[in-house]
Amino acid sequence: MNNLDNIKKLYKPYRYTLKGKCLILESTSGNFVVKKCPKNKDLPSIFNYLKSRSFNHFPEFYENTRDDNLVYQYIEDLDTINPQKSEDLINLVALLHAKTSFNKEVSEETYKEIYENIKNNILYLREYYQKYYEIFIHDIYPSPSKYLFLRNYSKINAALNYSETELDNWYSLVKEKKSERISLIHNNLSLDHYIRSDKDYLISWDNAKFDTPILDLVKLYQNNFWELEFNTIFNKYLSVSNLSEQEEKLFFIIISLVPEIKFTDNEFKCIQSMRKQLDYVYKTETFLENFNSNTK
């Protein structure tokens, strides 16, 4: 933390604690969090914009900063069970998107570039997993990690086939469109970045930017897929901030991309990693099946 002496002199803390990238100050005038501003990110302007859109669910920040640090109000998090916490979080995210959405004019190349990037990612993953399948299938006595992979290879392929088919369907919807819905997105959503106190708060806005709102949903899903009942969460989101058909389809495509499993010589770590990635594949398949069956 740059120039800590200046900050201590200004706020006169009787105790300060380093917690990750934050410095927590306890003083007679209140408790504060000091965090360095990310490079090339004007967070005060983002917070002022949010206030102008009647969205004030972030810790109060103070202009009297030193050395590119922002000083925030310290918020004490109330204990909340994860199911309730996740539902409160998604309501807040839906509100953020609803209050900051606008249509932006785009060229044909915008959607084409998204299509080609995802297509290339699918092709890379398919070749990546096929290479390991062709190596492992010839082992007479495969290791536990190899056996686990071989048993689930068809499931991985099915997920990639789904993504590719839906990607083509998505592109047929958008290739002639000239606009895209944009929102201010948090861009780093997880349960850890939600605080419940006197009201709901989102913290850690360092990655915030204007982009498609589905990126927030993707990030939340990928960060907390195992502990979330995402069918409930997703339906709560849709009750506040609707997604178009093309947005919904793109969200499903992106979360269906199989995470890259790293094969290493450490058998224990390899199985740990593989089990987590395969859990993601099965969890995502169940989510999509349940959502589609409930919307028919």
Q: Give dist(CA 19, CA 49) in Å, integer.
A: 28
- Say what the pLDDT of residue 58 is: 92
Burial class (CB in 10 A: 0-12, 13-18, 19+), 141: exposed
Q: Which CATH number does 84-294 carry?
A: 3.90.1200.10
What is the percentage of the chain residues whose pLDDT exceeds 90?
57
73-87, 138-152, 263-277: range with lowest mean pLDDT: 73-87
What local confidence, expressed as pLDDT, does residue 136 receive? Answer: 94
For residue 13, what pLDDT is reported? 80
CA 61 centroid distance within chain? 24
CATH of domain 4-74: 3.30.200
Considering only 12-21, 42-51, 83-92, 226-235, which range has the smallest mean pLDDT?
Answer: 12-21
d(CA 241, CA 234): 10
Q: Which of 184, 204, 208, 185 is nearest to 193 (CA)?
A: 204
Average pLDDT, the chain: 88
Is the pTM higher than 0.85? yes
Q: Quick check: 1 pLDDT over 50?
A: no
Confidence at residue 60, expressed as pLDDT on a 0 to 100 scale:
84
Reported confidence tier of residue 160, pLDDT bands at 50, 70, 90? very high
CA-CA-CA-CA torsion sign (213, 218, 219, 223):
positive
222, 188 in Cβ contact below 8 A? no
Least confident of 61-70, 177-186, 246-255: 61-70
Q: Regarding predicted confidence, which is higher, 23 or 183?
A: 183
The residue that leads in pLDDT, 143 or 5, is: 143
* Residue 13 CA: distances (Å) to CA of 19, 30, 53, 67, 75: 16, 9, 34, 18, 17
Q: Is the pLDDT of residue 176 over 60?
A: yes
Q: d(Cα 47, Cα 129) in Å, to the nearest integer?
A: 44
Mean pLDDT along residues 141-147: 92
pLDDT of residue 198: 82
Task: Give the sign of the dihedral formed by CA 69, CA 71, CA 77, CA 81.
Answer: negative
pLDDT the model gives residue 74: 85
Query: What is the per-residue pLDDT across 33-77, written as a single tens digit (0 to 9) for each?
Result: 888 877 777 888 899 999 999 999 998 887 555 557 788 888 887
- Find the mean pLDDT for residues 249-254: 96
Question: In terms of pLDDT, which residue wins out, 47 or 294?
Answer: 47
pLDDT at 2: 46
Residues 123-141: pLDDT tens digits?
A: 999 999 999 999 999 998 9
Question: Three-state secondary structure along the chain?
Answer: CCCHHHHHHHHCCCEEEEECCEEEEEECCEEEEEEECCCCCCHHHHHHHHHHCCCCCCCCEECCCCCCEEEEECCCCCCCCHHHHHHHHHHHHHHHHHHHCEEEECCHHHHHHHHHHHHHHHHHHHHHHHHHHHHHCCCCCCCHHHHHHHHHHHHHHHHHHHHHHHHHHHHHHHCCCCEEEEEEECCCCCHHHEEECCCEEECCCCCCEEECCHHHHHHHHHHHCCCCCHHHHHHHHHHHCCCCHHHHHHHHHHHHCCCCCCCCCCHHHHHHHHHHHHHHHHHHHHHHHHHHHHCC
Which sequence spans correspond to the domains of the chain? Answer: 4-74, 84-294
